[in-house]
Every structure is written in C-alpha cells, then in structure tokens.
Structure 1
C-alpha cells in the first residue's frame, strides 16, 4: 500500500495557512479547532473525522486566551495535526482493504488514537510560537528602520519574511502527523477487538472531560460542580454500556 502523498502535502499546506491566519493574516477564526479540523477532514476525504476531532478540541481549548505575554497552547496545531492523523488512518485502512465502498470508513477508534498521540502538540506549538516571535520581532525592528528611511518596499518584504517561518514549520509538523497516520492506520485497525472497543468508547469519555474543562473555564457560578457532574454522568453511561455489551456476549 502506498502513502497518499497528495493528502500529506494538502495537510501541510492547510496546517501552514491556518497557523499564519491565527497570527498574522485575516484572523477570521479559520484557525479555531472546530473550523480548522473540519476543513482538514474535508481536504483529506474524511469530514467526519475532522468534525468530531474539531468538536472535542474546541471544547478542550475553549478556555485558552492570548492575553499580553501569556500564550496559551497552540490550539490550531493541535487541531490540524490530530485531524490530519485521524484522516490519514482512515484513508490508509480504506486503501488496505481495496478502496471499495465510496469514501474511507471513519471510525471512533481512529479519532481516539490520534487524540492520544498528538493532542500534546498544542504545547509544542506554543514553544515554537515563542521562538518564531523573537525572529519576527527582529524583522519588525528592521522594517521600522527601513520605513523611517523611506524604503517602504523593503520594509514590507521584511514583514512578509516574518510570516513564512510559521507557514513552513507548522505545515511541516502537520504533514508529519498525516504521514504517521497513514503508517499507523492498518495497524490500529488490526488491534484486538476489546482494545478497539475501548478506543471507541474513549472518544465520548474524552469529549465529556473536554466539556467539563470548557465549563470549568467559563467561571460561571457552580461551574466546577456542573462540569464534574456532566463528565461523571457521561463516563458512567459509557461504562454501563460497555459492561452490558460484555454481559450480552457471555454464554
């Protein structure tokens, strides 16, 4: 089975574009996890994976805010990387089965695996963002000096050079995650049935926890209580459903 290099490239381009949109261009909310992940899924022929990954990560990062010198986790990189990996797994598994039946079959165990593997890239993105800001700050100083000297064209070029590293670095990370997804897809789908079932139910459990985090971050009255209650109820429901399924399969 070959790797879908076109999809890997598309993942990198979209990952780089929304990283730039988040910091320097347009800022029309395309970089929000729900939007960025859903559109990533659309580009990679797996809208379902993008949508469900985006929903989870939107809740997870909902309380993050860029205030002054405080930088939150890079929610955009987290969303694009996880959705690209999940879509890559679906596509790889679909092709390994002969590529029949229309579009790839998107399964919750792919989403859960991608989340567990790559959600931590939000902190990696924050670290990269800090380093790139130092580089951009140096270019901004040069651009200001050039503008004061009347060299406006060169000043504009300096500002544009500050944008390219974001596109290249974050795009490369997203492409790498898509490539890992393509490599892992067939292996994940062949895991033992109990493991796959556990990964399937891990998704709603993680979504409940993320919803609780979002509620906790709202600072509403009794937010912690309602967050704990909601997360506990969903996790308990998942546990009961799994136990009932196990009991039914017993002779």
Structure 2
C-alpha cells in the first residue's frame, strides 16, 4: 500500500502543535500522552489505536514531571509517534486496529521519549540565546522585534517534533504490509504483549504514586492481569 501523505502531514502538524503546547504555549495538558495520542487517532480516523496506545504510555509516564532543572523523557513525542505509527499501520493492512499493532508501535517508539529529551535540551539552549537577544531588543525600545524573537523560539519545537512524528507515520505505512507476512504465532505474541505492557505500566504508575501500600497494589494489579492473560491464552490453546 502506498503512503498516505495526507495522514503523514496531519500527524506532523499535530505532533508539532502538542510539542509547542507542552513547552512554550498554553500548557493545558493537551500534550499528555493519553490526550495527544487519542487526538492523533481522531485525526487519522483510528480512535482505538490512539486511545489504547495513549493509555499504556500515560500510565508509563504518569510519575514523570518537568520540575526545575529536571528534564524527564519527552512523553508527548513517544505518544504522538507511536499512535501515528499504529494508525497508519492499521490503515496499511486494511484489517483495522489490533492489539498486535498497538504493541509493536509502543515497542518501536517508546524510546523516542529519551530522544525528545535530548532535543529539548538542545532547543532550550537555543531559546535562551533568543531570550537574551529579545531582552536586549526590549531594552533598546524595539518591542516588536523583541516579540518576534520570542515567538521565533517556538518554531524549532514545532518543526523538529512535527518532522519526527511524520517519520513515525511513514514507518507505520511501510510496516503494514510486512506485518501481514508475520507468522500467526508472532502476531498472537504481540497481541498478548499488549495487556502485559498495560499491567506493567499500571504497576509503574501505582508505584510512582508513593501512596501507602502502593507496591502491594501495583503487584496485585499486575499479577491479576498477567494471570487473566495466561488463563485466556491457555484456554485458546486447549
């Protein structure tokens, strides 16, 4: 199947917008993985892919926070990249969204969070230099120029993170035909990997809450999901 460039462009625009919203504008939580990924699914006409990918990544990153000099993994990039890939992969297969597609997308693009963090560090240095220039312009009475310099600092976030999200969408289209050629056993393994990843992410979220007996509840939740998945798999094999 050929690449759907309209979907790739939409994915890039949304990925760039939420990257800017996360760091420089509004900050109304649209960049949270669950919201960003679900909206990506809406844009690409595959709400299940966006919702279920976003659910796992939201739980996985729930304990992270951008406080002071601490710079966590870029959860927004991993969410937009994985959800764009999943939606485009499902479109390429023509068979609709499946847990195997969600699992594969999360496994492939979860690491984008660390890449996004390094990109954030680089862009922060660039933005700091622009801020100094804007301050100098404002002190010289050039307020319009100072405003343009401040606004210009947002564009690199939009362009770089949007381009990365578009690349993930293209990868999804390219992997679609290859996914159809995988053995049924591998596809079943990927499908069962989704509830396993969800249980692990939920355990991480519970453990990160620092609530009383959080480790106990995390272990119980992960154990219950794992046991249920194992029993269902055993029933299917028998």
TM-score (norm 1): 0.93
Does residue 85 of structure 1 match 2:76?
no
**Deviations 1:64-110 (CA, angstroms, capped at 9, x unpaired):** 0111100111010010000000001001111xxxxxxxxx6111110
Q: 1:131 aligns with which of 95, 111, 122?
A: 122
Residues 180-195 of structure 1: pairs in structure 2 closer than 5 A: 180-195=171-186
1:138: how far off? Answer: 0.4
Contact 2:75 2:113 survives alignment (8 Å): yes
Q: 2:102 aligns with which of 94, 97, 111?
A: 111
**Deviations 1:131-161 (CA, angstroms, capped at 9, x unpaired):** 0000000000110111111100000111111
Contact 2:2 2:173 survives alignment (8 Å): no
- 4+ residue stretches of structure 1 with deviation over 2 A? none
1:190: how far off? Answer: 2.5
**Deviations 1:171-228 (CA, angstroms, capped at 9, x unpaired):** 0000000000000012113211111111111111100100000000000011112101
Partner of 1:149: 140
1:27: how far off? Answer: 1.1
| Other structure's SS at 2:2 match | coil
- Give 5+ residue unaligned stretches, structure 2: none
| Other structure's SS at 2:37 match | helix
Partner of 1:67: 67
1:25: how far off? Answer: 0.9
CA distance in 1, matches of 2:106, 2:99: 11
Partner of 2:38: 38
CA distance in 1, matches of 2:68, 2:78: 22
1:229: how far off? Answer: 1.6
Residues 22-37 of structure 1: pairs in structure 2 closer than 5 A: 22-37=22-37
- Give 5+ residue unaligned stretches, structure 1: 95-103
| Other structure's SS at 2:178 match | helix
Does residue 214 of structure 1 match 2:205?
yes
CA distance in 2, matches of 1:156, 1:162: 10
1:235: how far off? Answer: 1.1
Contact 2:54 2:79 survives alignment (8 Å): yes
TM-score (norm 2): 0.98
Q: 2:218 aligns with which of 223, 227, 231?
A: 227
